[in-house]
Each structure stands twice: as C-alpha cells, then as structure tokens.
Amino acid sequence: MRHERERAEVVRYGLEMERRGLTSGTSGNVSLRVEEGVLITPSSIPYPLVAPADIVLMDLDGTVLQGERAASVEHKVHLACYRARPEVRGVVHSHPVVATAFAAARVPLPSFLDELGVYAGAEVRVAGYALSGTDELAANVAAALGEDSSAVLIASHGLVTVGRDLAAAMRVAELVERGALTYLCAKALGGPAEIPESSRELFRQVFAYYRTKPD
C-alpha cells in the first residue's frame, strides 16, 4: 500500500475534524496532495471506523489509482481546489454549525479580525449553489476561493478550507467557525469596527507570503 504515513495523516485529521466539533457522523471529508494526485477519505464511513487502507488514491482528473472504497462524493470539490491552487496540499470540507448557518443564509464572512485577514485571506465568500458531487459545485467552489482566500462557504451546505498542509487547512476551519460566532456577537453590539486599510494591506502581504513561501 503506497503512502502509509500520508494515509494515516488523513485518517487522523478526519478524527480531529469530528473531535473539534467541525462535523458529525459521516459528513465532511479530508484530503492530502501526494505525488500521484490526492489521498481522500471514503464515502459513508464514520471517522472512528476509517482505516488507512480505506483512504482512496486518485489523480487530479478523478481516476482512482488505488482503493476499494468509494471516494467521498465531494472529491470533485477537492480536486478543483488542488487544480486551481498548486501550492495547496491539504483540503478540509467540514460542516461547523455557525459557519454553516452563514452558508445557509448565503452571507459571506468578512475578514473583520486580524487573524482572519492573515490566515483566511480577503474574505470568506459564498460559492454559488449547486448539487453535491457535481462538476458545477466544484467549479463554483474553485471560483469563490480565487487566489486571495483559503476558505469558502458552500451555499446551503458547509465550509471548505485549504492550506499548505492539513494542519493549516484545519486551523483555518477552526478560525472561520470561531470568527463566524464572533461576528454574530459583534453584530449584537452594533457591528464590528473597521480595520484600517494599512493593516489590511499588511494582512494581504502576510497571507500571500504564507501561500507562496518555500518549505
């Protein structure tokens, strides 16, 4: 079995996603870029029951190279993110409660906190609605991600975050969920204050640096 260490990492982050309250049951999915393409969690298996051998290896066109299980139904979203952003090595698709409420309402989350500007980018936009598992949804997510963000809300569905590794993608998922809750609290207090443009420009530079810096 190829990529034993990487398969174990995908399994571990699937468990972490559930442990951190970012999803439940069999919802969501996790993937990691490898030389041949992508390792991704299987469909419809609870995370505590997923073994390294269940992880599916596929190329960036979606051809299964190794694996007996069906890949996650949202594998097209993952592949679209990897094709659009060559530096991305980890993708986490989660269903956190508050961020998913923003997705259901189709309300983008602005980068109103310093940490969001640095790690999530310019804005957490909402990808246009399409049915799960479709090419249209994958294209919508990649378009909403653009070059200046590491997180996308999927309309009426959930959240996708990307990173230079799975740790970074998971960190952004947690930041977006906490940011979404903070935003709602700030709205109750009259709304978040504006961040100076000079600070926003610095955040853009830091975000771009972490996107492109070498290993």
What are the φ/ψ torsions at residue 96 (nearest 5 degrees)? -65, 145
Distance CA 171, CA 163 (A): 9
CA angle 135, 102, 24 (to 5 degrees): 75
**Could you say which of 9, 16, 74, 177 is catalytic?**
74
Report which of 60, 59, 55 is spatially closest to residue 40, judged by C-alpha positions.
55
CA atoms within 13 A on the CB side of 26: 12
Residue 16 a catalytic site member: no
Residues designated as active site = 74
